[in-house]
Amino acid sequence: MQIQPLPIIGAFELQSAIYADNRGNFREWFKESELREIDPLVSFKQSNISVSKKNTIRGIHYSLDGPGQSKLVTCLRGSILDVAVDIRPSSITYGQYVVVELSAEAGNSIYLSGDLGHAFISLEEDSVVSYLLSSEYNAPYEHGISPFDPTINIYWPPGSYVLSKKDEDAPSLLQQYEAGLLPK
């Protein structure tokens, strides 16, 4: 596995080798020993899978439970644009984001430390995304920021978007800052 740091501290792209033959293909998309090179304390407690229609936007999500919720995200079918957002007010890249296209064919994943925001858009019908999470879902600590926040200004490919009510109504980064609901 190759691990490449992204321009936001705590975000990494992981590239797994894909072994193809007449049966299909195989890849190792998670190996704890290799992930510990970038996060010595990594430990996953929950695994989620989402299936998203084309142009579905999920996020920007984050957790304030303990040290936050680190994520290892991979696309098992279809493709997505995965977005890491720096929501740490003390960071030099606060309010900035980085985008990585994840696809089943590419064999890549993204790792995000627990103090980053996460979002994605599905580029195809029924894209399947798997998340390994460092903490279990804990509703009172789960928060969001509008994926259309103009101060972050994420470029989403043009289209008619599908969002949850929660994501549609999510506050801005500034509102979460003023409410004291960003990572310390």
Single out the catalytic residue among 19, 62, 111, 131.
Answer: 131
DSSP assignment of 17-64 equals --EEETTEEE-----HHHHTTT-TT----EEEEEEE-TTBEEEEEEE-
Residues 6+ apart with CB under 8 A from 128: 49, 50, 51, 75, 76, 77, 78, 104
Q: Considering the candidates 61, 97, 111, 143, report the single residue annotated as catalytic.
A: 61
Q: What are phi and psi of 176, to 5 degrees?
A: -70, -35
Strand partners, 84: 98, 118
Active site residue 137: no
Nearest to 146 by CA among 171, 179, 176, 180: 171
Q: Is 61 in the active site? A: yes
Active site members? 61, 131
